[in-house]
Chain A
Amino acid sequence: MTRYLVRRIGQAIAVLFIVSMVVFAILHFLPGSPARAMLGIRATPAAIRQFNAANGYNRPLPVQYLLYLDRLAHGNLGFSYHYDQSVGSLLTLDLPKSALLVGASYVLSLIIAIPMGIVQALRRNSSLDHALTGFSFVGYAMPTFWLGILLLVGFSATLHLFPPEGPQGASVMAALGDPAGLVLPVATLTIVTVAQFSRFMRSSAIDVLLQDYIRTARAKGASRWQMVTHHVLRNSLLPIITLVGLSLPGVLSGAIVVEALFNYPGMGWLFWTAAGAHDFPVLMGFTIVVAAATVVGNLLADVAYAVADPRIRYQAS
């Protein structure tokens, strides 16, 4: 177990290291130079030289990279020219709001997708199974923003049930204070995620149902309900642990679109406006943070899996 952990953490550190190199490389392959990107096309050569000297862009690339790593290690993610704030402070403001959106969608998705997948597996090839499979197939193919627009048309424009805009407050508490505004953004992200999770859950539960221990349990007189709660649920949930870690980048992609569509001022919205304003420090800083979150999420998922499933532990060590 220890050896597995050490190897897995080593890998995670290597991956984070490469992410930092990729992001650094993108910043330095900007057309023209970072100075041009920040100061605009009409910047004078003198202004560019001054900018380069002030920001260390006149030093050799390897030195710049080490300085960049040094800043990262000290939690300095850069300075937004567009918002005239440090990227770190923008992040502390907006990250919790995105976490609320993504977290709520994750919890709801799991609550819906797990029973849905198990029911599909138990009634495999029934008309219910086909209908739900059709739903997840279409849900998967549906662009997140189009689903959001459809919900807007249905529940906001036609039925007037929910506001068309996400909560506009600056803090998480303010966002929580407007639960009606959260409904459509969370619903959009949840439907897309359920479509994906339920497919995995279905195939995972089908695999479990074919195992010998299920037949043994049935032979020993376990009721259907006992069988599901004691054997199917526990064993088929194992792969879902990994899926939750792996799906984080996809869900965050969805969060960008949902926040842009519903004008919800979270991290995705900020990233989107920064992309439109060519505010590269924000784009870079957020990319690093999100990648780190994903790597750590995957690491935690793998560790949780190893804890939950002894086979993984023994194989690895």
Chain B
Amino acid sequence: MTGEERVAAGPARTPVPQPAAGPVLADTADLALAPREGPRRGVWRQAASDFARNPVGVIGVATIVVMLLFSFVGPLFYHTDQVHPNLLEITQPPGARHPLGTDNVGYDVLGRLMVAGQSSLEVGLAAAVIAGLVGTFWGAVAGFAGGWVDSVMMRFVDALLAIPSLLLVLLLAAIVTPSILMVIMVLGAISWLTTARLVRGEVLVLRSLDYVRAAEGFGETPRQIVFRHIVRNVIGTVAVQVTFEVANAILLFSALSFLGLGPPPPAANWGGMLTDGLNYVFDGYWWLIYPAGLLIVMTVVAFNLAGDALRDVFEVRLRSR
């Protein structure tokens, strides 16, 4: 893949150059789209073992698992009150009672990081899956329909891509009442654009291939062809892109919350925790500034690493054909 293609393939907000993955199957994400019949099992197992051989990808996936355990299982063992402020214990430094100190209304920071992680991860994963589904559908229809339908649909994508994503998110967040569900919807509504572009590009190639022509010859309807042949073959590309979109959505969500337009307290998320920490930059309260930011960076890096490794799996398998 050349640098030119990479630049042309994706907008600036995607973390890494775009994949040219082909007819392959993903071993993570988008299980709803996965084919069900038996013989493909071998392909899946092969993909999984290819992936396991890539140390960078394994580190990424391991970090994601650790983050999920920390956020969802952690609170089962480490009980803290993350709803009622405790003004007697505000901005305590880390100590025996509070391993990572307390924040400006007395919430235990370690416990809050766990609860905040839940919403940050939920938003990232859900928004990316929605974006994957919408983008696949949009791109497949546009690429398959061709002609003016394709032009109009893709100009629509261009138009939304021309608006900075944070601008769109702020605009939509100012309209709706911020709740986790609404944030997921808003982020999902703007994150599908790159997926749509990639899927359309692949569909344009796929529809000229012999077996799709043959299916047309056998009298399959366009809808059958899209769902049986096209969607299945672009799952690899989509899975890679969805993994990157999780990272993007987590970043956007944290920016949105940092700017004060996320879900209001006592709901917690990593970006929002940093807003509170900002007031204490000059007081040296490091426990309000470093932990939440580090968790965001680690999670985003982990999803980007996993996405890179996933793409390598697909490219290796393409080459071996």
Contacts and interface: CB of A to CB of B under 8 A. Distances in A.
A247 B175 CA distance: 27
B281 interface: yes
Contacts of B261: 275-276
B164 A200 contact: no
Interface of B: 2-4, 6-8, 11-13, 15-17, 151, 155-156, 158-168, 170-176, 247, 251, 254-255, 258-261, 271, 274, 277-278, 281-282, 284, 286, 289, 293, 296-297, 300-301, 304-305
Nearest to A235: B3
A275 B173 contact: yes
A249 B284 CA distance: 34
Nearest to B271: A143
A19 B12 contact: no
A137 to B, nearest CB: 6
Nearest to B305: A137
A295 interface: yes
A47 interface: no
19 contacts: A11-B155, A19-B162, A22-B163, A29-B175, A138-B301, A141-B15, A143-B251, A143-B271, A149-B274, A150-B293, A153-B286, A157-B284, A203-B17, A242-B4, A257-B259, A275-B173, A275-B174, A284-B171, A294-B163
Q: Could you say which of A271, A278, A286 has the most chain B C-beta atoms within 10 Å of its C-beta?
A: A271
A208 to B, nearest CB: 8
- Going nearest first, the 9 A-B pairs with the smallest beta carbon separation are A204-B3, A247-B12, A253-B166, A141-B300, A18-B159, A249-B164, A146-B293, A250-B12, A294-B162
B312 to A, nearest CB: 14
A157 B279 CA distance: 12
Interface in A144-178: 144-146, 149-150, 152-153, 156-157, 164
Interface residues of A, number: 69
Contacts of A146: 254, 274, 293, 296-297
A233 B271 CA distance: 39
A298 B11 CA distance: 11
Of listed B8, B12, B168, B277, residue having the most chain A CB within 10 A: B12
